[in-house]
Amino acid sequence: MSAGLALLARDVRLAWREGGAVGVALGFYLIVVVITPLGLGPDLNLLARIAPGILWVGLLLAALLSAGRIFDNDYEDGTLDVLATGPLPLSVVAGLKCLAHWLTTGIPLVLLAPVLGLLLNLPMGTFPSLMLAMLAGTPAVSFVAGIGASLTLGLRRSGLLLALLVVPLYVPILIFGVSAVTPYVSGPNSTWPPFFILCALSLASVVLAPLAAAAALRTALR
C-alpha cells in the first residue's frame, strides 16, 4: 500500500521538520524528573525506589502533552478532509498517524528514560527491563492518546481535556509498566507476566484504537 507508506513517511518527515515539538516533549520529561527530588528531597535510596514510577508517569505526561499533534494540524488546514477521501479507510489513516507519533515521540522518550533513570539513581541493571517494558507499553500510549486526540479535535482547552479523558485509560499501562520494572529494584517477583500484559495491551490498542479514533474523526469532520 504505497498510500499508507506515503502517509507514514509524510507524518514522520513533518515531525522531523518541526523538531521543536519532539524536543519539547523530551524537555518536559526531563523537567518532571528534575522537580521530583526538589519536591521529595535528594535521598538517593528513596529516589531509587520510586524511580520506575516517576519515569513511567513522566513518560505518560510527556506523551499526553504531545498527543494534540496527531490530528490537530491536519484538521486545521483541511488535510484531514482530503485524507478521508483517499483509498485508505479512515481507521487505517488514524492508525498510521498514531504509529508516526510512536516513532517520532514515543521512542525518543523511551531512549531518554534510562538517562533520566541515572538522575534518579535507578540501578543500571534495571535499564534493560525498563526499556523493554517501555517499548512494549508505548505503542499503547500513542494509540490511546490518538483516541483522545481525535475526540478533542478543535475544542477549547483541548490539551487539558485530552489528559482528563486519556489518563484513566492509561492506568493499566502504568500499573503493569511499573511492575515490569520494579521487581529488579525491590524484590524477586518475575517481571514477565506484567511485560506480556503490556504487550497484549499494546497489540489490542493498535487494533482497536484506530476504530474508535476513526469514529471520532468522522464526527468531527461533519
Partner 1 sequence: MISLANPTRFLNLVDRVVPWLSALVVIVLGIGLYLSLFVAPPDYQQGETVKIMFVHVPSAWLGMFGYILIAIAALGTLIWRHPLADVAAKTAAPIGATFTFIALVTGSLWGKPMWGTYWVWDARLTSMLILLLLYLGLIALWQAIDEPGRAGRAAAILGLVGAINIPIIKFSVDWWNTLHQPESIFRAGGPTIDPSLLTPLFVMAIGFTALFVLLHLIAMRAEILRRRVHALQQTQVERAALAEA
Partner 2 sequence: MQLPFKVSLSAHDVACERGGRTLFQGLSFTLAPGEALLVSGPNGAGKTSLLRQLAGLLPLAAGHLSVSGAEADTPVAELCHAIGHLNAAKTALTVRENLAFWAEFLGDGDSDLAGALAAFGLEPLADFPAGLLSAGQKRKLALSRLYAAPRPVWLLDEPSVSLDVHTVTRLDAAIRDHLKKGGIAIVSTHVPLKTAFDHELALGQERAA
Query: What is the distance between the alpha carbons of residues 217 and 199, in angstroms, rounded to a whole number?
Result: 26
Is residue 6 a contact residue for partner 2 (CB under 8 A)?
Answer: yes
* CA–CA separation, 142 and 108 (whole Å): 12
Rounded Cα distance between 163 and 63, Å, is: 10
With CA atoms as reference, report the closest residue to 138 among 177, 179, 97, 106. Answer: 106
Cell of 140: 499503547
Out of 5, 6, 34, 82, the only residue in the binding site for partner 1 (CB under 8 A) is 34
Q: Helix-strand-coil percent breakdown of the chain, rounded to 5?
A: 85, 0, 15
Query: Per CB under 8 A, does 7 bind partner 2?
Result: yes
Does 23 sit near partner 2 (CB under 8 A)?
A: no
CA angle 175, 176, 181 (to 5 degrees): 105
Q: Near partner 1 by CB under 8 A, which window of 4-12, 33-41, 80-88, 194-202? A: 33-41
State the cell numbers at 19: 523538531
Query: 38 is in the binding site of which of partner 2, partner 1, none (Cβ under 5 to 8 A by kind)?
Result: partner 1
Q: Which member of 22, 25, 63, 83 binds partner 2 (CB under 8 A)? A: 83
**Shortest distance in whole angstroms from residue 24 CB to partner 1:** 5
Told to check if 118 binds partner 1 by CB under 8 A, we report yes
Least distance to partner 2, CB of residue 86, Å: 5
Query: Does position 14 bind partner 1 by CB under 8 A?
Result: no
Q: Binding to partner 2 by residue 86, rule CB under 8 A?
A: yes
Task: Kindly state whether residue 125 participates in binding partner 1, applying the rule CB under 8 A.
Answer: no
CA-CA distances (angstroms) from residue 86 to 133, 197, 222?
A: 36, 35, 17
Q: Please check whether residue 60 is in contact with residue 170, taking contact to mean a CB–CB distance below 8 angstroms.
A: yes
Pick the piece of the chain touching partner 2 (CB under 8 A) from 1-9, 60-68, 144-152, 180-188.
Answer: 1-9
Contact 185, 126 (CB under 8 A): yes
**Residues of this chain that bind partner 1 (CB under 8 A):** 19-20, 23-24, 27, 30-31, 34, 37-38, 41-44, 47, 118-119, 121
**Residues of this chain that bind partner 2 (CB under 8 A):** 2-3, 6-7, 10, 13-14, 17-18, 76-79, 81-87, 221-222
